[in-house]
Amino acid sequence: MSDLSRKRVVTTEAPWVRYTLTAVALAFILLFLVLPLAAVFAEASRKGLQAFIDALREPDAWSAIKLTLITAAIAVPMNLVFGIAAAWCIAKYEFRGKAFLTTLVDLPFSVSPVVAGLIYVLMFGAQGWFGPWLAAHNIKIVFAVPGIVLATIFVTFPFIARELIPLMQAQGNDEEQAAIVLGANGWQTFWHVTLPNIKWGLIYGVILCNARAMGEFGAVSVVSGHIRGQTNTMPLHVEILYNEYQSVAAFAVASLLALLAVVTLAIKSVVQWRHEREMKAAAEIPPERPPALKEAI
């Protein structure tokens, strides 16, 4: 197979190998990614536009949409502030236990969503640590909105920090130090120097965090109690409708979430392309020594 290709191009494969590999890879993508996505929209529109709109205008669906938006509106900014703070102290300073702290920040990614929900039930549930106290003061956290928000925060906890830490580490401290030496205070330095440098990573982290916050199912399912019209988020509403064999309605709500995913991917790709273009432009500024720059990296 290689006798032919060796003579022509050294570091690629014979055409038939290339075409076969590409075809197999694309078939895999088609089967596992494109078809499920297409199925969501096809199933949602199976009974026509009117059934689709009716499913979304139903009061329970509407309250699920509202609760999902509220949850994301609280969870994403909370994790944004945390992400910036964590990235600042981890990327800009050296201190003991830094590697351990970074691992702890990553921890929620490896905890099963169901376990994530369970820990809040154990803390705030009727039999939990704070359960009796909360009941005495008539505060509901589990099987109510605060529990849903907490579980969502846990599950989306590392997203923004994870994006910012490597980015800020790669950029180093030189520009911030220059700003401080020139008399800027810490806040001005962050706002005018650091933020413009990390804006793409920040946007990227926020949209991924948002997509996961709106779509979280397992953790929210444990703490929500599935009270229709009150503690149902969109993914939970999809489950209820699906289990009641209201397939079109379930897929109608699901298609909104799928649309969110597609928009997220689109924004992500645009952000990534712009970031790459800026990196390329930055690398080309001193035209006499791009190879040296490449070496340094």
Chain positions 203 to 222 lying near other proteins, rule: CB under 8 A, are: 204, 208, 211-212, 214-218, 221-222
Identify whether the C-beta of residue 184 lies closer than 8 Å to the C-beta of residue 192.
yes
Residues in contact with 62: Cβ distance below 8 Å, sequence separation at least 6, in sequence order: 56
What residues from 149 to 168 belong to the interface with other proteins (CB under 8 A)? Answer: 150, 153-154, 157-159, 162-163, 166-167
Whichever of 225 and 230 has its CB closer to other proteins, that residue is 225
Whichever of 76 and 236 has its CB closer to other proteins, that residue is 236
Binding segment (CB under 8 A) for other proteins, from list 50-58, 59-67, 239-247, 282-290: 239-247
Binding segment (CB under 8 A) for other proteins, from list 47-55, 78-86, 132-140, 282-290: 78-86
Site for other proteins contains 34 (CB under 8 A): yes
At how many degrees (to 10) do helices 195-215 and 159-171 cross?
160
Whichever of 53 and 270 has its CB closer to other proteins, that residue is 270
Q: Which of 60, 144, 190, 246 binds other proteins (CB under 8 A)?
A: 190
Identify whether the C-beta of residue 149 lies closer than 8 Å to the C-beta of residue 74.
yes
Distance in angstroms (rounded) separating the CA atoms of residues 34 and 40: 10
- Comparing C-alpha atoms, which of 115, 119, 153, 113 is closest to residue 236? 113
* Phi, psi (rounded to 5 degrees) for 158: -85, -10
Q: Which of 53, 73, 115, 293 binds other proteins (CB under 8 A)?
A: 115
Whole-angstrom CA distances from 181 to 64, 178, 193 are 51, 5, 13
Site for other proteins contains 201 (CB under 8 A): yes
Q: Which of 56, 60, 82, 230 binds other proteins (CB under 8 A)?
A: 82
Site for other proteins contains 251 (CB under 8 A): yes
Whichever of 22 and 289 has its CB closer to other proteins, that residue is 22
For residue 139, the surrounding DSSP H or E stretch is: none
Q: How deeply is 63 buried, as exposed, middle or buried, from its count of CB atoms within 10 A (0-12, 13-18, 19+)? A: middle
Whole-angstrom CA distances from 260 to 4, 28, 253 are 48, 23, 11
Q: Which of 51, 56, 70, 118 binds other proteins (CB under 8 A)?
A: 118
- Closest approach of other proteins to the CB of residue 264, in Å: 4
- Closest approach of other proteins to the CB of residue 61, in Å: 14
Site for other proteins contains 113 (CB under 8 A): yes
